[in-house]
Amino acid sequence: MIVEEELNNPDNLAKIVDCFAKKYKPVTLKVKLILGTLPERFRITREIIGDPLKNMPKLSKQPPEFQTKEHYNLDYKGKLDTVYSSGFLWLEERKLMYWLVAEQNEAFAWNDTKRGKFKKEFFPLVEIPIVAHIPWVKKLFRSLPAIYEKVCKMIKRKIDVGVYEPSNLSY
Find the helix packing angle between 91-103 and 74-83, rounded to 10°: 140
Tell me which of 16-20, 47-51, 133-137, 149-153 is least confident.
Answer: 16-20
Percent of the chain whose predicted confidence (pLDDT) is above 90: 5
Under a CB-based contact definition with an 8 Å cutoff, are residues 105 and 135 in contact?
A: no
Domain boundaries, the chain: 4-161
Q: What global pTM score does this model have?
A: 0.49
Percent of the chain whose predicted confidence (pLDDT) is above 70: 81
Q: How many CA atoms lie within 13 A of 64 on its CB side?
A: 7
